[in-house]
Structure 1
Amino acid sequence: MRQYSRFHIFTFLASTVLFCTNCGDKNKKENAATASKMKAEVIKPNDVIPFFQHWNLILGDGSNAGPAMDYVHKDFFYTTNDSKSDWVVFKTPNGGDTHGTSNNTRTELAQLKKWYPKTANDKLSATLKVMNVSATGDARVASTHSVVVGQIHSADGHENEPLKIFYKKFPGHEKGSVFWHYEINTKGGDNSGRWDYSSAVWGHDFSVVGAEANSYPDEPEDGIALGEEFSYQIEVTDGMMNLTFASEGHDTKTFIKNLVKSEYTTSGDMPEQTRKLFAPIGQDGVERATAYASEGLFFKLGCYNQTNGKSPEENQNWCSGAETHGGDIQKQYADGNYAEVWFKTASIIISNDAVSNEGYFIKND
């Protein structure tokens, strides 16, 4: 009787172990299948905006990730959904390694081709919303609490920027400002005298700053809030740059700028805004008569953080004195010391006359 019981007990236990093993194997297979399915269903940036073959992606650690096809980076470049739409997220800290000679970090697309304004028929359009700008920084510094979301950049000469589109919002304000800059293509071989002229779209322009490091100007009445959608369109044809800005509930704004004939060829042509901002720090040059006519230009799009940790004593317009936690990205993300921009749609048209922009990346990577 005792042996019979032991036999049955042994058989029962063996069957139980085999059953559990089979269950475990089945669960593992099901979990692996689920994980594989989830991995396959991950939405990549090029699933949302299918044009990344036209760009190199520069990341917030200064590296060049190349064309971002099927590419995701958890810290800088990924997708999200706001319950209505999918978005491509560009994110970058206040401080860290930078690309080229810039003082600022960026997660930004840089066009693989360049084109010349006289023969251009090139166009960039985007719909986006800014989700964060730096929580810290000296409010007297014009670039503090701002991010550039679109550019035209020169690949040649001084590598200056005939267009930068900014969003800027001071702490405690509900609404921020959208404005754009034209940077002169400085005459001669010395670029130290270069300066920007800022035009307001909604809200203030670049020149509106705080009276003290931690005090802020009045909030713009017609500004754009964090998380509020707006669109821009940049079109360059026959040497002219045409800009259109649109946002629901705001007046649509248009601008035009000649890129092949300068209006700033003498010191007397410097706008009053520029005299106040740039002349006091020695940036008081003049522009070559043909502006950017002889230089290859290219588009940029993304999140180019304009707030950094450099001392305002170095430059009162571009050095923010913000918190960077010694370049620790996660600490900066944890306490709001970063810029973040979401793009819902974007498109690019490239003219037949465009040529390779490889030389720019060789110089700057």
Structure 2
Amino acid sequence: MNKNTTLLSILLAFTFIIFSCKNKTKEESSIQDLTTKTTFPSEVIPFFNDWSLILGDGTNIGHANNFENKDFFYTTHDNDANWVVYKTPNAGSTHGTSNNTRTELAQSKKWYANSHNKLTASLKVMHVSTTGDARVAASYAVVVGQIHSADGHENEPLKIFYKKFPGHEKGSVFWHYEINTAGDDNSKRWDFSTAVWGNDFSVVGITENTYPEEPQDGIALNEEFSYEIEVKEGIMHLKFMSAGHETKTFTKNLVESEYTTIKDLPEQTKKLFVPIGQNGTERANAYANEGLFFKQGAYNQTNGKSPEINKNWCSGAQTFGGDIKKQYETGNYAEVWFKKASLYISEDAISNEGYFTKNDHK
């Protein structure tokens, strides 16, 4: 082989190496782009045009398309699926007059109980507060779905809870109906709790740090379950599903009350609420004439207020003066992941702007 041929071979080999390196760099760059690209919650569950997002610091984000906040609302990947994460501390700035923080969607429109509306979700609760008072029914709990009234007292005909005591492997799923209190004094309102899997709201500890027996048919953290809420012709239909658990269904009339006199109060109410003066009755047509709307996310039921104020709702949990970072570091928060969700609303639904005008930045 002569000198010229040798030189040409070397040049060709060098050119090949350079192009190979360039192509490899492009491929690596493409892979890196894919792994670092942000997947927004609105890409996982594309229905955010129908909601306003409230964050755990009380901020109303509005429509959360192409939005994330790493403290409260973002996506994660687990078990070959993307999940939308809702996270909120035990204390901080709250929305409206509530004592509790939330990272939660609130429907942009309101509708009436005689129309047809439906909300579904597949989710798993990843964390509930590890501090609180075991005697307080709301301790260690988070609400993952609601129907809320936009009018009148702004009460809640539905709240879906998950609650797990510290040291227990399994927690409970239960749902609440809150009466639409008759008259102008809403301070006497109360909730009635119904167990789905595990216990209802009324099962509490004997002392601050003594826990009841763990439910055998409960739901563990990181265990997926689903719910369907359908309201049609004045009746609320609920369905709860989870692999390895019995499917449960319930109905509740939202336009005709069964609690119009004192003698109608359930035994559970007499045990939990009457002793603290919450012994109201409900208007005969319940929620018939009020605009209603769905909520979905993580509405933390554990707060730092003293149980002396209200032994059902004030948990006395650790809050570190509202320091969110410190609460997250010490397990004083709620976190819920949603994999799927869907919303159907009636054609006669109207703007819910009045609710947000009243409750934003209070």
TM-score normalised by structure 1 residue count? 0.90
Q: Which residue of 1 aligns with 2:84?
A: 88
Q: Which residue of 2 aligns with 1:79?
A: 75
The one-letter amino acid paired with 1:115 is W
Is residue 2:299 matched to residue 1:298? no
Q: Work out the CA distance in 1 between the residues paired with 2:58 and 2:34.
A: 31
Is residue 2:277 matched to residue 1:282? yes
Is residue 2:37 matched to residue 1:41? yes
Identity percentage over the alignment? 71
Q: Which residue of 1 aligns with 2:8?
A: none
Is residue 2:198 matched to residue 1:203? yes
Q: Secondary structure at the match of 1:192?
A: helix
Q: Secondary structure at the match of 1:353?
A: coil
Tell me: CA distance 1:43–1:168, structure 2 relative to 1, closer, same or farther (3 Å): same
Q: Which residue of 2 aligns with 1:164?
A: 159
Q: Which residue of 2 aligns with 1:70?
A: 66
Q: How many residues align?
A: 337
- CA drift of 1:337 comes to 0.4
The one-letter amino acid paired with 1:54 is D
Q: Secondary structure at the match of 2:271?
A: helix
Give the alignment's Cα RMSD to 1 decimal. 1.7
Q: Work out the CA distance in 2 between the residues paired with 1:212 and 1:290.
A: 39
Provide runs of 4+ in structure 1 moved above 6 Å: 33-36
Q: Secondary structure at the match of 2:269?
A: helix
The one-letter amino acid paired with 1:94 is N
Q: Work out the CA distance in 2 between the residues paired with 1:40 and 1:239.
A: 48
Is residue 2:39 matched to residue 1:50? no
Is residue 2:175 matched to residue 1:180? yes
Match of 2:214 among 219, 231, 245: 219
Match of 2:302 among 307, 310, 316: 307
The one-letter amino acid paired with 2:92 is G
Q: Which residue of 2 aligns with 1:110?
A: 106
Q: How does 1:190-269 map to 2 (within 5 A)?
A: 190-269=185-264
Q: Secondary structure at the match of 1:117?
A: coil
Q: Work out the CA distance in 2 between the residues paired with 1:54 and 1:284.
A: 36
Unaligned runs of 5+ in 2: 1-21
The one-letter amino acid paired with 1:184 is I
- CA drift of 1:84 comes to 1.8
CA deviation string 1:154-188 (max 9, x = no partner): 00000000000000000000000000000000000
- CA drift of 1:37 comes to 3.1
- CA drift of 1:39 comes to 8.6
Tell me: CA distance 1:134–1:40, structure 2 relative to 1, closer, same or farther (3 Å): closer
CA deviation string 1:292-341 (max 9, x = no partner): 00000000000000000000000000000000011111111011100000
Unaligned runs of 5+ in 1: 1-25
